[in-house]
Each structure stands twice: as structure tokens, then as C-alpha cells.
């Protein structure tokens, strides 16, 4: 199947699901390492290499810890978004992938005692 027929990318709508805090934003070579805290309800919607929106910027999760998501920010993304103005300690709006939210809702509905 050619690339022009693929259905891919990050599925977000521009809504705010939760808020987190920038724990770290540090240069690493040409890139930047960004770590953002995740509330428990949002953490369950995230996977390694999945997507998460940070203040409207859809990013790929490089790594999940028990309380945060880590992203590697390329120079292009760093310079062309507001991330170059971000600071550790800053609150951020978070939006989980739309497909993850739908799957979680379906899974929850299948649990014993669910309506």
C-alpha cells in the first residue's frame, strides 16, 4: 500500500484532558529531552512510542516512567513551537490520543459491574 493511502499519525482534537508539569527540559546534543509529569488517569492512556499533546503540540512518547513521559524534541520542533520558551516547573495542558481514550472506554465498559 502506498504512503498516500495510509491512515496514520497522532489522533488528537485540541481538548485538554489533564494538566501536568514540565519536570525537565534539557539540551542533549542537537535535541532536547523533555520530561512531563502525568496524572494517573492520563498515564493509563499512554504507551511508549504513542502520542501525547503538550500544550497543543502532538509529540511521540519516547519513554514512560511511573509518573511521567519523556520526549526527545528535534531541533525543528524545538525552534518552530513554543517549546523553546518552556521552563522546568511550568504547568502544561495535556491531551491523550483519541484512539487510546476510546479503547479505554470500551475496556472499562467490559469490566464486571460496568453499565
- What is the reported pLDDT for 41? 87
Domain CATH code at residue 25: 2.40.30.20
Q: How far apart are CA 108 and CA 101, in angstroms?
A: 11
- Domain membership flag for residue 77: yes
> SS3 for 45-69, per residue?
CCCCCCEEEECCEEEECCEECCCEE
Give the residue ranges of the chain where pLDDT is below 50: none
- The dihedrals phi and psi of 64, each to the nearest 5 degrees, come to -115, 140
Q: How far apart are CA 55 and CA 94, in angstroms?
A: 6
- Domain membership flag for residue 27: yes
Full residue range of the structural domain in which residue 23 is found:
15-109
Please give the model's pTM, rounded to 2 decimal places: 0.81
- What is the reported pLDDT for 47? 85
- What is the reported pLDDT for 69? 97
Q: How far apart are CA 68 and CA 39, in angstroms?
A: 8
- Domain membership flag for residue 8: no
Beta bridge partners of 70: 35, 63
Q: How far apart are CA 67 and CA 82, in angstroms?
A: 24
- Domain membership flag for residue 4: no
**pLDDT per position as a tens digit, 65-83:** 989 999 999 999 999 999 9
- Domain membership flag for residue 49: yes
CA proximity to 87, closest of 19, 24, 18, 20:
24
- Number of structural domains found in the chain: 1
Cβ atoms of 80 and 1 closer than 8 Å: no
- Domain membership flag for residue 26: yes
- Domain membership flag for residue 34: yes
- Domain membership flag for residue 85: yes
Amino acid at each position: 500500500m502506498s504512503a498516500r493511502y495510509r491512515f496514520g499519525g497522532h489522533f488528537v482534537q485540541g481538548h485538554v484532558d489533564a494538566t501536568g508539569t514540565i519536570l525537565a527540559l534539557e539540551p542533549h546534543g542537537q535535541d532536547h529531552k523533555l520530561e512531563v509529569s502525568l496524572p494517573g488517569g492520563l498515564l493509563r492512556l499512554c504507551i511508549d512510542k504513542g502520542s501525547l499533546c503538550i500544550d497543543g503540540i502532538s509529540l511521540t512518547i519516547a519513554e514512560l516512567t511511573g509518573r511521567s513521559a519523556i520526549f526527545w524534541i528535534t531541533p525543528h520542533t524545538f525552534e518552530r513551537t513554543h517549546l523553546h520558551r518552556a521552563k522546568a516547573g511550568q504547568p502544561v495542558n495535556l491531551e491523550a490520543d483519541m484512539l487510546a481514550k476510546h479503547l479505554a472506554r470500551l475496556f472499562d465498559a467490559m469490566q464486571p459491574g460496568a453499565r
